[in-house]
């Protein structure tokens, strides 16, 4: 209990801001059906109706309540981004640690494959693959997870190489411990801190990439509510001085900043850096 109290006191103001913002987003995502006054795809009014007591943020190009779609967008956009990031980390970190532990031809093969994938701009590559395989949510999750796992691979391998050279790893090998024991009991626990900090940053990149793909029409497809597509659908309103398209964009930016604050604090805490 004392350790928990001490940790809470050490959390910076920026990290507290990030924690509060992320907590609000999570609550909104979980209780979207309760918070939203209308359904996600329900047409409830005319086209582009202004803000009013009935429609807090007006309506979109089909007459759907923008406030309701903004709320449901938290569940769809954030939920898909978290799932994609988890898949990218599960695959990338495992491959990185495995490559560092075994070494040899496997390390060379994995390293060169990752170099090839990283040489192609991620957004362009994602657009190409989605055009080939289709724009379903499952395809998008798998493609982005694969592309983003290359970044996780580089980090996890670099961290694992330093651990593999330690004496206690050699001692475990001499005891006859298997590969699974070395990875899950010796190496991964000792590289958790940089991986957790990187998870926050990678989530931001995945989140922004999904939003960008949706804005371009190859991400989350209608009628599913998504913040990127909401910006695209109401972008014409900017010409008339309306700020409605900026609201989902601000929701994207706010969550990105909040997660970065938390990841930055955790990185400083785990490494002992000051600043």
Q: At what angle do helices 137-164 and 192-216 cross, to 10 degrees?
A: 160
Average confidence (pLDDT) over 21-43? 90
Average confidence (pLDDT) over 49-66? 86
Question: What is the predicted pLDDT for the residue at 106?
Answer: 86
Q: Is the pLDDT of residue 273 over 60?
A: no
Average confidence (pLDDT) over 131-149? 90
Distances (CA, A) of 18 to 13, 257, 260, 264, 265: 9, 7, 8, 10, 10
* pTM of the model as a whole: 0.84
Per-residue pLDDT of 142-160, as tens digits, reads 999 999 999 999 999 998 9
Per-residue pLDDT of 3-15, as tens digits, reads 656 666 778 888 8
Q: What is the mean pLDDT of the chain?
A: 86
Per-residue pLDDT of 203-248, as tens digits, reads 888 988 988 888 888 888 888 888 888 888 887 777 777 788 888 8
Average confidence (pLDDT) over 181-205? 85
The residues spanned by each domain of the chain are 72-271
Identify the architecture of domain 72-271 in CATH: Orthogonal Bundle (1.10)
Question: Pick from 251, 207, 271, 263: which is nearest to 15 by CA?
Answer: 263
């Amino acid at each position: 209990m004392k350790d928990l109290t001490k940790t809470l006191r050490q959390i910076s103001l920026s990290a507290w801001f990030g924690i509060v913002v992320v907590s609000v987003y999570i609550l909104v995502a979980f209780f979207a059906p309760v918070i939203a006054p209308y359904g996600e795809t329900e047409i409830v009014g005319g086209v582009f109706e202004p803000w009013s007591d009935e429609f807090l943020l007006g309506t979109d190009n089909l007459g759907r309540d923008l406030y309701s779609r903004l709320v449901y967008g938290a569940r769809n956009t954030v939920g898909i981004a978290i799932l994609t990031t988890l898949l990218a980390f599960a695959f990338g970190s495992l491959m990185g640690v495995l490559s560092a532990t075994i070494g040899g031809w496997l390390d060379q093969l994995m390293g060169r494959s990752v170099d090839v994938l990283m040489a192609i701009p991620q957004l362009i590559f994602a657009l190409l693959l989605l055009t080939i395989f289709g724009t379903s949510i499952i395809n998008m999750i798998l493609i982005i997870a694969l592309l983003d796992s290359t970044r996780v691979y580089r980090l996890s391998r670099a961290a694992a190489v330093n651990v593999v050279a330690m004496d206690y790893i050699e001692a475990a090998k001499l005891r006859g411990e298997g590969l699974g024991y070395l990875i899950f009991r010796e190496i991964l626990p000792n590289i958790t801190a940089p991986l957790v900090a990187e998870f926050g940053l990678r989530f931001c990149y995945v989140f922004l990439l999904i939003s960008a793909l949706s804005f371009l029409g190859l991400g989350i497809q209608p009628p599913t509510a998504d913040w990127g597509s909401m910006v695209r659908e109401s972008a014409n309103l900017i010409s008339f001085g309306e700020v409605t398209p900026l609201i989902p964009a601000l929701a994207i930016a706010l969550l990105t900043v909040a997660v970065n604050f938390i990841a930055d604090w955790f990185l400083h805490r785990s490494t002992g850096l000051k600043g």
